[in-house]
Amino acid sequence: MQTIFAGTRLARVGMTSDNAVRRIRLLAGLINTGTASVKPRFLCSDARVSIGDVSIPLKQPRNPELVPVKYANGTLPQSTMRHLRWIMQKDALGQDVFLIGPPGPLRRALAMQYLEITKREAEYLALSRDSTETDLKQRREIRSGSAFYIDQVHV
């Protein structure tokens, strides 16, 4: 087995030893969770939020009471920061995000953390076997004795 660090091998593939060492350090940093660091930067002056090199503008929510609170407290683990950065990349590109994982609260917590950091509103819609198409499109609220039909989140 040839080693990639040998000077003659590096010369043949067109990579200098400095570049090879730099690349190995970069890859080791990605593998070792303790050395790869993605830090959030909250820029208040221009109303943007950044995680690493990904940045999106912040908008004032119409209903601030729907913005999640107390999900992004303190220092977040690097694995969470990587997921949040990935979600932010998708959001910046205007793409949908579908979180897949084992049963438990982690996916919901990740979504709520992202919504809190970006000051976005959240609404929760529970699905069951008894959910109908009408349940998905509108919900009925009663205010001051009168019934109002309000469009659901995805409508």
Digit-coded pLDDT (tens) for 123-135? 877 778 888 888 7
Give the whole-angstrom CA distance, residue 110 versus residue 105: 9
Is residue 111 classed as helix, strand or coil in its secondary structure? helix
Instruction: Please state, for a pLDDT cut of 70, what percent of the chain lies above it.
Output: 74
Would you say the pTM of this structure is higher than 0.85? no
CB of 19 within 8 A of CB of 27?
A: no
Per-residue model confidence as pLDDT tens digits over 94-124: 998 989 988 899 999 999 999 999 999 998 7
CB of 3 within 8 A of CB of 10?
A: no
Give the whole-angstrom CA distance, residue 111 versus residue 121: 11
Is residue 117 classed as helix, strand or coil in its secondary structure? helix
